[in-house]
Structure 1
């Protein structure tokens, strides 16, 4: 009790007696308030607000000084890999922006791949049926006849009842 130590470590951490310490203090017929650190008492709290805090003057009423030197932060450049041109081997630009590069060609150097209309629905012809979830499930497409029919309860073929 004199060391103000508890097994849970709460008293050492907060400087306020823990629940376990209060039980021991109460069993000894002592006042638990006497074991709280002075800065956490009501008297110390009210004493911290005893003085009046005066508001600051408006910025227009503050005295102006002419010899104000501002210290600016140094300009930092991002660290990274610099571009090296493969045409002129200079650092600072790449092949696309090289000043020694000749005029650009009208066509590209690599031929483009032809699009495959079978795999691309947006490029498919007018005769291609619209994709629906029934095609992805390997079922026949839903028609008006199917909508008007009664629902069919299907039972799996290899159904074994669990008893």
Structure 2
């Protein structure tokens, strides 16, 4: 890897040096900087230079005015100061005096500086077979075997890096600097805008709206009384439910209650007593025959099956 990096840098330096000598001969500045200068010259056509003296100009461009100093190579737009290449305002002042723009470019962009930078070269190196032999033990790479114990997943902390409270500080490591404490949360009232209380306990709201506080107190009292009443009535309701469950249930069939009563007949057949809980409407004179017929029919039905029938009219 290191040998490849050495060879790459060696060839890069030689290529840049040869290119500058062959292609850029007779030029003052590098080709990329020359393109930027030409663009600024084209933009300088929209500028209006106002001469103050041989070096100071006031340039009017796009509704704004800038001061250009050709001697110090500065412009109030700061582009010339930061890049070292004359801006469009500076080019307007340079062209007004028919001067050469390349003379006002920073020397770091010149071809001479480029060749001076790349004139140094990395010298070639012989192979390992031609190296001088010594009696010392040749260096070997470190061992990458697995260590005993569980490997640590924590990142290696630098000697000058602060450590949190939960971590153990290593030898030669600085203590943690002073940290700001966490600010406690302050309750804020949305009615008066004060702190330390909320809207429910705001004294100003109680003064401005006394009725609302009284209504709230009355509502609290009514709810308290309702809760106490429910607690008192709950045991009695539970007792009624238990008593209802303990009583025998009756079978209902379309308005007729059937109660099973064990009675012995002559044939030792359990008899049933049928009672009607809802009395029939009083029979009028024209319907008297129908009621008697129904009663006779029910009595015959009960005698046939051994059931006592009691009809409530």
Q: TM-score, normalised by structure 1?
A: 0.36
Question: Which of the pair has the greater relative contact order for Cα pairs under 8 Å at 6+ separation?
Answer: 2
Q: TM-score, normalised by structure 2?
A: 0.20
**Is the strand fraction higher in 1 or 2?**
2
Larger radius of gyration: 2
